[in-house]
């Protein structure tokens, strides 16, 4: 027995003091969240549990190809801590009982389970030690740009390496249970237990708090559809119109800043960060984390106050959130969603930036001049261009397309969208879609003059009131016409109609034209030939963010192109990792005054992919088509590159049965 060397009192005292200190630190760190906005994040528990198993415990997002080495190192350390949790309990059991032969039930040295666990334990200890050394090399030598340089990160890796080394020493020089021999082994055991408690108490005081908050952050993440923004109750007695101060953020948004690992994955394909805009989601998280610490006592006081007048007085002491996250930061975001789909702990960056815009638009009336023109155009004419609403059907006057108001039977409502109706370039895409539908024998109708803007740009530019007006009017029209199935050509329309209109009573089956084309080909209803004029031409496909990343439509556009013999050469950043064109989040309508132009960066990548001979940049979004077309012109590549929509390319493979 080892009572005389490692007394139960010493180990018990260490454990009691360590856990008590940890509990106090935990309460102090989490208490400010009670002063933030309440929000239900425990609905649909089965879905949340599946996400936790896949992305939390399964670490699915850490093994993407472009981040595989760092991701695998993290997975190794995470798995080691899961496996060694039982070992930690065993070691504390040895210290508390004074019995070096202590083991958990079923894991004795003589049992098959115990022997198997011992072999697994040794393997993960060595793996974790090597992984921590690999991270130290990466942090101190290679030092990638996305990594935050801090002493804390190095110290934590030292903790991990120290735990593994003391475990190995203890195993190599085990004390004799009968005599308590091997002072080195006993010292290693004591050092190991002390390191565990020190590490545990260190976590709540720095950015490595994410070790504790990361898994809950995954469980409480907003559920699909993730591109859906929360509907504000603008008529409530205490209506919230955005994020004026930190108290207007939800407790989950506060939890998110604690959960940020500062890994920098949000920056790897972020169009704003990579083109020199003043937006890094990692830095936003760091700024908000520091701010929460600074105003923590005020938030705790706010949470405890019951009297409305007292609460108002306390809240008035909080500084504007725009001082923490400057306007030029929030207005830079294209809402492309890369940051959210790359984050291993599901931090929700886009909603809080949109809330800052909502505050600027609805309360402070401080927003870009271009946004004012867009709001006016949508409000008065039902489209961002401000073109007369009576001209919405000029694009199809010679096509004799049925109107939903006529009352005939049709399979699909073709929601043309503002770009498809008013933009001269996109009108060609609208006509190509009509040609494809007729070739496949699909019955369809349009709303015609009854159609109006979905309000996507207004909502993401912060004008929630205008969006809700548009959404309500649109749902009334669609429901009044008995619409069930909607075909769109704009991913932004797709996202609003499918994901956001249900909040207003509109529930429809919504598909993108590339999806329907692929479906028609697979069903044998559409049999196009080779795309005329593209024989031998190189083609690459640009994935629209609101189609591929936010709504998961990646393969159908490629299948549609394949139906006419076009097999795209993939850009380095494609599919979920695709690089934004720069137009999302209402940025289509705002001047790009800071840094370099996002669309030019994307066109340069396409040009590099296609090679000196050039070719075609295909896409499936009106905004992307415009941005790519403009980027080609701005970079002087008109002779070698051209931009086409997927529908236009498929139409090139159809028999000529009408004038082009």
The CATH class for the domain spanning 380-522 reads alpha beta
Does domain 246-364 fall into CATH 1.10.260? no
The domain made up of 8-219 has a fold known as: Fumarate Reductase Cytochrome B subunit (1.20.950)
* Phi, psi angle pair for 266, to nearest 5°: -65, -15
Model pLDDT, residue 184:
84
Exposure letters 530-565 (e unless 16+ CB within 10 A, then b): ebeebeeebbbbbbbbbbbbbbebbebbbbbbebbe
- Segment (H or E) for 619: strand 615-619
DSSP string, 135-151: HHHIIIII--TTSPP-H
Query: What pLDDT score does 660 carry?
Result: 38
The span from the CA of 262 to the CA of 243, in Å, is 24
SS3 label, residue 350: helix
The confidence score (pLDDT) of residue 177 equals 55
Report the distance separating Cα 453 and Cα 460, nearest Å: 14
At how many degrees (to 10) do helices 251-259 and 281-304 cross?
130
**What was the pLDDT predicted at 231?**
96
Give domain limits for the chain: 8-219, 246-364, 380-522, 539-651
pLDDT along the chain (660 residues), means of 10: 60 93 96 96 96 93 78 93 93 84 84 91 95 93 85 93 94 66 78 94 94 96 95 91 97 97 92 96 96 97 94 96 96 97 95 98 96 97 96 96 94 98 98 98 97 98 98 98 97 98 98 98 97 93 98 98 97 95 97 96 98 97 98 97 98 74
Cα distance between residue 587 and residue 549, in whole Å: 18
pLDDT of residue 9: 80
- CA atoms 162, 164, 166, 169: torsion sign: negative
Burial 66-103 (b: 16+ CB within 10 A, else e): ebeebbebbbbbbbbeebbeebeebbbebbbebebebb
By CB atoms closer than 10 A (0-12, 13-18, 19+), residue 612 is exposed
Instruction: Centre a 10 Å sphere on the Cβ of residue 274 and count the other Cβ atoms it contains.
Output: 16
Kindly report the pTM of this predicted structure: 0.93
Write down the pLDDT at residue 186. 80
Residues 6+ apart with CB under 8 A from 527: 521
pLDDT at 568: 97
pLDDT at 109: 78
What's the CA gap between 129 and 123, in Å, rounded? Answer: 10
């Amino acid at each position: 027995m080892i009572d005389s060397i490692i007394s139960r009192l010493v180990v018990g005292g260490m454990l009691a003091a360590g856990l008590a200190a940890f509990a106090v630190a935990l309460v102090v760190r989490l208490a400010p969240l009670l002063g933030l906005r309440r929000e239900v994040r425990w609905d649909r528990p089965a879905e949340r549990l599946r996400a936790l198993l896949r992305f939390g415990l399964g670490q699915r997002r850490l093994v993407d190809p472009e981040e595989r080495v760092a991701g695998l190192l993290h997975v190794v350390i995470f798995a080691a801590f899961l496996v060694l949790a039982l070992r930690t309990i065993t070691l504390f059991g040895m210290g508390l009982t004074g019995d070096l032969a202590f083991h958990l039930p079923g894991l004795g040295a003589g049992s098959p389970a115990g022997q198997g666990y011992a072999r697994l334990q040794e393997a993960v200890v060595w793996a974790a030690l090597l992984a921590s050394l690999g991270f130290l090399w990466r942090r101190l030598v290679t030092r990638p740009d996305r990594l935050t340089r801090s002493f804390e990160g190095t110290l934590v890796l030292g903790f991990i390496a120290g735990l593994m080394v003391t475990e190995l020493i203890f195993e190599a020089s085990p004390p004799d249970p009968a005599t308590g021999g091997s002072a080195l082994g006993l010292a290693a055991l004591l050092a190991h237990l002390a390191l565990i408690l020190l590490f545990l108490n260190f976590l709540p005081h720095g950015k490595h708090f994410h070790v504790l908050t990361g898994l809950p952050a995954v469980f409480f993440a907003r559920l699909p559809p993730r591109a859906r923004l929360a509907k504000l109750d603008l008529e409530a007695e205490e209506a919230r119109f955005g994020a004026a101060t930190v108290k207007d953020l939800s407790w989950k948004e506060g939890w998110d800043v604690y959960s940020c690992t500062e890994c920098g994955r949000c920056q790897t394909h972020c169009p704003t960060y990579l083109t020199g805009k003043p937006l890094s989601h990692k830095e936003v998280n760091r700024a908000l984390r520091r701010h929460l610490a600074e105003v923590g006592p005020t938030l705790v006081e706010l949470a405890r106050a019951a009297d409305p007048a007292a609460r108002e007085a306390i809240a008035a002491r909080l500084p504007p959130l725009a001082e923490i996250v400057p306007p030029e930061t929030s207005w830079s975001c294209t809402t492309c969603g890369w940051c959210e789909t790359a984050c291993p702990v599901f931090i929700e960056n886009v909603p809080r930036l949109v809330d800052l815009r909502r505050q600027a638009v609805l309360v402070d009336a401080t927003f870009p001049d271009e946004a004012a023109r867009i709001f006016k155009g949508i409000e008065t004419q039902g489209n961002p261009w401000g073109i007369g609403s009576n001209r919405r059907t000029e694009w199809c006057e010679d096509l004799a397309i049925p109107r939903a108001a006529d009352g005939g039977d049709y399979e699909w409502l073709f929601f043309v969208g503002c770009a498809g109706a008013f933009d001269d370039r996109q009108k060609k895409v609208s006509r190509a879609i009509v040609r494809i539908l007729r070739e496949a024998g699909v019955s369809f109708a349009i709303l015609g003059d009854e159609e109006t803007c979905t309000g996507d740009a207004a909502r993401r530019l912060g004008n929630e009131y205008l969006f809700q007006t548009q959404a309500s009017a649109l749902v009334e029209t669609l429901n009044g016409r008995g619409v069930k199935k909607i075909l769109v050509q704009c991913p932004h329309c797709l996202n609003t109609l499918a994901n956001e209109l249900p909040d207003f009573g509109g529930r429809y089956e919504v598909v993108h034209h590339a999806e329907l084309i692929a479906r028609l080909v697979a069903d044998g209803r559409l049999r196009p030939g080779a795309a005329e004029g593209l024989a031998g031409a190189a083609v690459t496909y640009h994935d629209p963010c609101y189609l591929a990343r936010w709504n998961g439509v990646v393969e159908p556009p490629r299948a549609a192109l394949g139906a006419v013999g076009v097999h795209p050469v993939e850009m380095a950043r494609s599919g979920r990792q695709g690089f934004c064109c720069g137009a999302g989040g209402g940025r289509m309508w705002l001047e790009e005054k800071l840094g370099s132009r996002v669309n030019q960066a994307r066109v340069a990548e396409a040009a590099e992919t296609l090679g000196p001979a050039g070719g075609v940049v295909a896409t499936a979004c009106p905004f992307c088509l415009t941005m790519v077309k403009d980027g080609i012109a701005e970079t002087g590549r008109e002779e070698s590159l051209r931009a086409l929509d997927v529908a236009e390319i498929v139409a090139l493979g159809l028999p000529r049965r009408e004038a082009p």
